[in-house]
């Protein structure tokens, strides 16, 4: 048509400078940029859909977006642009950006895990691809009533004239008007609200970040650290050109944003190519829109993952200046062709629909880039084919001005477009949008998952996004649960901002957590290795653990410690059926107070020289006067007065009460006798208590003396209960409950230290305990209990865990439980949890029960039953992650790749443990894991060992030793140094 030819002719005038193609002037409010025409623009970063992109989820997102757009486009004066970009060339850089804070934490702690870090980047690099999604919203003067607009423009022009601000190449700070700013803020806020309802995670970018995104999209060679000079920021004034100041004083002003962003010159090349710097670009647009649109992910999946591209969807309000002209011409020429009449009728139909479903001008442009012309033409050809196949679209290259079309694909570059505009109802535009791209809610973290769409999903333990931070893991055996929990421990250790090791306790039935703890300990400096402890609890041996140990220089327990001691004594007081005297609870509570008073006075333990040589040395060097009856508690307090808290803690171990002290006080306490009566009194629990404690001392000698292990000094604590858990139906519940409760307290007893504890501290020790509380409260604290089904029926253990969940969030304690069945968790635990990890597939019947228990969606149900969620395979395990925030409950299917070194660090196979310990002892953990990962990249040597054992020709009696010797031979041939 003649009109299209006129438009083509008008577009043939090309701008000389690159910045003339961008309409950006300066910044005004925190997240608002101003164009040369006075329009306002805000940029949103779209993280994606916080749901599995099933049909129901897509419809919910689409309907809420439609509601938002229908509200926005009821009035003229608004333009919306949605830009999606995918570029594998940025993947490595993005993975490093996600994990860079973990490297800083690693260095601050002094932890040598760079090989694990590099493996983590490498294994994820093979499976993820960088992509970004942004929305820009412009508000222009059409939103303002004409008379008011005229008045404000005149006022602003007067202000500019008063200071002689008539500079063509500096920002006109008076071009924006307040009424438009107010309207624009309202549009932005309402749009953000509707995005939340659509479960689309987004945030508005501040002016600095918005300019950075525009710059990096415009110039693919720009530094990702580039920052614009914004009005209001400190800056260095430009020097006068040629030694003489400009007549207009423009060197005193900030540079316009378009000049800062499009600072590189551009050059037109052959075949519609464009060059900016060393990079070549080629762009196109959709000329004829498809009637039936496939989901956006089908477009992405049809494009090679290593092909970089960007696609822009621009929605403009208003009819455009050509609408009336087209109507008149079509009416005038309708007798010439029946087609003209049908077009005129369609235009009339759009106007009729506009009251409920506003029609808009819709344009789609796209671009790709490469450094070599041949590569660029190949990329463009593949991209063009994919877009044409996306609902059978017709595409077009605009060779009138390639730069105009290229800048049309840059987010927030300009509100106008040179791409073909089509008049469609807003509901039709929604179908094109990249709604179904899955979200990542964290931007930083050492632990890297990925969504099914290949989007990197960093994960941060103990995040402020989810308070409290409580996790439940449901997984059958060998589905990757232990590897996941151990990887989360590594991620917690390397959390952004960490300068010391976190406080973390892992309670397990088996050795699955020992490997990761040993690896971390091996990688610490020698002076820090004591801060990681792995302990296999046993009823036999020479170790003692005193669960009644107090705090140095204090004669009483803190409230959380007292609650543990009471619960522990009540467990010991039960018979094999879990029964105890009806008055036992009150009796034990009163007894605790008396025992600690007794140990601080007449029952205090006498000092003996030679037990603690460092204390003996301090006594000698400081002329501390000893008497025949000097007590450990006296020396302990003297050490506290001298600020020698390490030695005071050692004395505290010996001054604390032990189990027998409770029997002693129970037998001789007059106050308890008056309150509860004598042993012969049926209402008195004394006889039963003494009997149960005497039995416990015989059965559990580990509790009968002062501690020989120092758990308090350690920050990472792994406790294996395999040797003390029994399946005996008679004694099992009681013994297992005792052992779980002991491990719970040993591992995490100090996690509840808080400012309320300071009320029980003597003034002269207050400064020390303030520092203790500060250090604990400023540290991430995590309790992880694996094999929680072993606690089934252990009432006191369950009560304690529920207390952790209920109260721990207040103090930032991360509680995590793992079990094989959801039924092992109480309704309280499920209700309190903010994260659910479902690993491995399940039967339809089992998942039906999960659906109601965990409020799972239909899409959640589907992925748990159709093998989408599965155990370890090539590319990693697959899990369903359901999480809760203040905005609601969301879910994603995540893939979890793990490299061979990390697999070896996690291996708990008995043969692998022998091999790993021997190799690490000979050549060190770094080289050992690296070599093991290379020679047995599945993270285990078990298949090779089993092959040899089943081979009739194998004559060796010790195959594991053979494998070790072979690995060491490889190390020797490669010149790997052996440790002395």
Mean pLDDT of the chain: 88
Total residue length of the chain: 980
Strands 532-536 and 309-316: unpaired
Task: Look at residue 429 in the predicted model and tell me its pLDDT.
Answer: 87
502, pLDDT greater than 50: yes
Dihedral over alpha carbons 357, 363, 369, 373 (to 10 degrees): 150
pLDDT single digits (tens) 548-602: 999 999 999 999 999 999 989 998 998 877 788 899 999 999 999 999 999 999 9
Q: How far is CA 201 from CA 46, 206, 533, 885, in A?
A: 6, 16, 40, 12
Q: How far is CA 814 from the centre of its chain?
A: 14
Question: pLDDT value at position 705?
Answer: 93
Q: What is each CA distance from 928 to 123, 516, 522, 768, in whole angstroms? A: 19, 14, 11, 42
What confidence tens digit (pLDDT) does each residue in 304-363 have?
989 999 999 999 987 654 544 444 444 444 444 555 555 455 545 545 555 567 888 999
Kindly report, residue by residue over 55-97, the tens digit of the pLDDT: 888 899 999 999 889 888 888 899 999 999 999 999 999 999 9
Which among 658, 568, 547 is positioned nearest to 604, based on CA atoms?
658
CB of 387 closer than 8 Å to CB of 396: no
pLDDT of residue 3: 45
- Rounded average pLDDT over 632-657: 95
- 347-389 pLDDT, tens digit per residue, is 455 455 555 678 889 999 999 999 999 999 999 999 999 999 8
**Position 787 pLDDT exceeds 90:** no
Burial class (CB in 10 A: 0-12, 13-18, 19+), 438: buried
Which stretches of 91-130 are assigned E, i.e. beta strand? none
Cα–Cα–Cα angle for 26, 27, 31, rounded to 5 degrees: 150
Among 904, 895, 815, 837, CA closest to 516: 904
Residue where the block lists tokens 């970004």:
132
Average pLDDT over residues 248-271: 82
Give the separation between CA 535 and CA 968, rounded to whole angstroms.
28
What is each CA distance from 115 to 103, 292, 308, 899, 931, in whole angstroms? 11, 50, 30, 11, 12
Check residue 89 and give its pLDDT.
Answer: 94
pLDDT of residue 955 exceeding 90, the answer is no
* 3-state SS assignment for residue 550: coil
C-alpha dihedral, 839 to 845 to 846 to 850, nearest 10°: 90
- Write out the two tokens for 207: 């002016």
How deeply is 834 buried, as exposed, middle or buried, from its count of CB atoms within 10 A (0-12, 13-18, 19+)? buried
- Which of 11-15, 400-404, 754-758 is predicted with the least confidence, judged by mean pLDDT? 11-15
**Can you tell me the distance from the alpha carbon of 202 to that of 188, in angstroms, rounded to the nearest whole number?**
12
Please tell me the distance from the alpha carbon of residue 666 to that of residue 569, in angstroms, as a whole number: 13
Please tell me what DSSP assigns to residue 751.
G
3-state SS class at 895: strand
Percent of the chain scoring above 90 in pLDDT: 60
Provide, for the chain, the percentages of residues in helix, strand and coil under a 3-state DSSP scheme, each rounded to the nearest 5: 45, 15, 35
pLDDT at 367: 97
Structure tokens that stand for 88 in this block: 């594998």
**pTM for the complete prediction?**
0.87
Which residues are within 8 A (CB) of 772 and not within 5 positions of it... i.e. 6 or more apart?
Answer: 753
């Amino acid at each position: 048509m003649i009109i299209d030819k006129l438009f083509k002719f008008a577009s043939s005038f090309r701008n000389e400078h690159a910045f003339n193609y961008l309409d950006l002037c300066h910044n005004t409010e925190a997240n608002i940029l101003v164009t040369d025409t006075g329009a306002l623009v805000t940029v949103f970063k779209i993280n994606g859909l916080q749901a599995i992109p099933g049909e129901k989820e897509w419809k919910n997102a689409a309907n809420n977006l439609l509601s938002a757009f229908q509200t926005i486009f009821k009035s003229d004066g608004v333009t919306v642009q949605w830009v999606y970009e995918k570029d594998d060339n940025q993947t490595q850089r993005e993975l490093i950006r996600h994990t860079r804070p973990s490297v800083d934490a690693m260095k601050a702690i002094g932890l040598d895990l760079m090989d694990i870090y590099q493996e983590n980047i490498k294994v994820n690099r093979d499976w993820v691809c960088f992509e970004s999604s942004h929305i820009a919203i412009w508000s222009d003067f059409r939103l303002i009533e004409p008379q008011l607009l005229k008045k404000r423009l005149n006022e602003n022009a007067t202000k500019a004239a008063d200071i002689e601000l008539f500079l063509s190449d500096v920002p006109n700070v008076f071009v924006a008007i307040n009424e438009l700013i107010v309207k624009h803020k309202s549009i932005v806020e309402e749009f953000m609200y509707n995005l939340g309802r659509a479960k689309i995670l987004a945030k508005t970018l501040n002016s600095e970040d918005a300019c950075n995104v525009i710059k990096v999209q415009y110039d693919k060679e720009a530094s990702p650290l580039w920052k614009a000079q914004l009005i209001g920021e400190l800056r260095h004034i430009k020097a006068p050109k040629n030694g003489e100041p400009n007549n207009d004083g423009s060197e005193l002003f900030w540079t316009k944003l378009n000049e800062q962003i499009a600072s590189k010159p551009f050059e037109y090349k052959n075949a519609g190519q464009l060059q900016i710097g060393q990079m070549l670009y080629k762009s196109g647009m959709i000329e004829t829109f498809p009637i039936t649109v496939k989901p956006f992910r089908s477009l992405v999946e049809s494009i090679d993952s290593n092909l970089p591209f960007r696609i822009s969807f621009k929605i403009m309000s208003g009819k455009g200046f050509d609408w009336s002209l087209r109507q008149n011409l079509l009416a005038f020429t309708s007798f010439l062709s029946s087609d003209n009449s049908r077009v005129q009728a369609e235009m009339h139909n759009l106007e009729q629909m506009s009251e409920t479903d506003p029609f808009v001008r819709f344009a789609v442009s796209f671009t790709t880039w490469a450094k070599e012309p041949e590569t660029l033409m190949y990329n463009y050809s593949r991209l063009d084919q994919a877009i044409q196949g996306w609902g059978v679209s017709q595409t077009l290259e605009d060779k009138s001005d390639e730069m105009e079309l290229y800048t049309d694909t840059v987010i927030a570059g300009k509100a106008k477009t040179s791409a073909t505009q089509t008049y469609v109802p807003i509901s039709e535009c929604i179908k094109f949008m990249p709604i179904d791209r899955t979200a990542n809610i964290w931007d930083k973290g050492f632990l890297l998952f990925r969504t099914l769409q290949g989007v990197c999903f960093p994960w941060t333990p103990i995040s402020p996004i989810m308070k409290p931070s409580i996790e439940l893991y449901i997984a059958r055996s060998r589905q990757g649960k232990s590897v996941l929990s151990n990887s989360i421990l590594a991620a917690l250790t390397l959390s952004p901002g960490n300068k010391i090791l976190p406080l973390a306790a892992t309670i397990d039935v088996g050795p699955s957590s020992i490997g990761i703890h040993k690896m971390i300990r091996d990688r610490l400096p020698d002076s820090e290795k004591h801060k990681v402890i792995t302990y296999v609890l046993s009823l036999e041996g020479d170790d003692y653990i005193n669960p009644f140990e107090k705090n140095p220089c204090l004669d009483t327990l803190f409230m959380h410690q007292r609650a543990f001691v009471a619960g522990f004594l009540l467990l010991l007081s039960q018979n094999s059926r879990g029964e105890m005297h009806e008055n036992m609870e009150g009796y034990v509570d009163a007894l605790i107070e008396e025992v600690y008073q007794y140990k601080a006075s007449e029952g205090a333990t006498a000092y003996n020289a030679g037990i603690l040589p460092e204390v003996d040395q301090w006594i000698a060097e400081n002329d501390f006067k000893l008497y025949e009856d000097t007590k450990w508690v006296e020396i302990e307090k003297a050490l506290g007065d001298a600020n020698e808290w390490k030695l005071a803690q050692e004395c505290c171990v010996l001054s604390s009460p032990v189990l027998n002290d409770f029997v002693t006080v129970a037998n001789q306490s007059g106050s308890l006798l008056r309150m509860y009566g004598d042993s012969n009194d049926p209402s008195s629990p004394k006889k039963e208590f003494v009997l149960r404690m005497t039995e416990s001392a015989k059965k559990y000698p580990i509790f009968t003396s002062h501690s020989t292990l120092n758990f308090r000094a350690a920050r990472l604590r792994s406790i294996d209960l395999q040797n003390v858990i029994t399946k005996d139906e008679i004694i099992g519940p009681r013994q297992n409950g005792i052992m779980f409760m002991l491990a719970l307290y040993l591992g995490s007893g100090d996690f509840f230290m808080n400012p309320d504890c300071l009320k029980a501290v003597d003034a002269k020790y207050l400064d020390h305990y303030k520092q203790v509380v500060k250090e604990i409260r400023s540290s991430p604290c995590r309790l992880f209990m694996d094999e929680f089904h072993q606690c089934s029926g252990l009432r006191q253990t369950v009560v304690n865990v529920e207390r952790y969940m209920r109260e721990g969030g207040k103090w930032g304690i991360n509680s995590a439980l793992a079990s094989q069945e959801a039924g092992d968790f109480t309704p309280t635990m499920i209700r309190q949890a903010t994260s659910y990890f479902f690993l491995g597939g399940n039967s339809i019947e089992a998942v039906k029960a999960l659906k109601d228990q965990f409020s799972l969606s239909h899409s959640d149900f589907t992925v748990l039953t159709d093998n989408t969620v599965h155990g370890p395979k090539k590319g990693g395990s697959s899990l369903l992650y359901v999480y809760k925030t203040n905005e609601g409950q969301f879910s994603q299917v995540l893939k979890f790749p793990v490299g061979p070194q990390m697999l070896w660090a996690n291996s708990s196979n008995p043969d692998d443990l022998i091999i790993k310990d021997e190799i690490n002892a000979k050549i060190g953990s770094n080289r050992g894991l690296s070599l093991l990962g290379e020679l047995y990249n599945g993270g285990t040597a078990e298949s090779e060992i089993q092959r040899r054992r089943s081979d009739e020709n194998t004559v060796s009696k010790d195959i594991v030793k053979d494998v070790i010797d072979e690995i060491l031979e490889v190390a020797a041939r490669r010149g790997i140094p052996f440790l002395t």
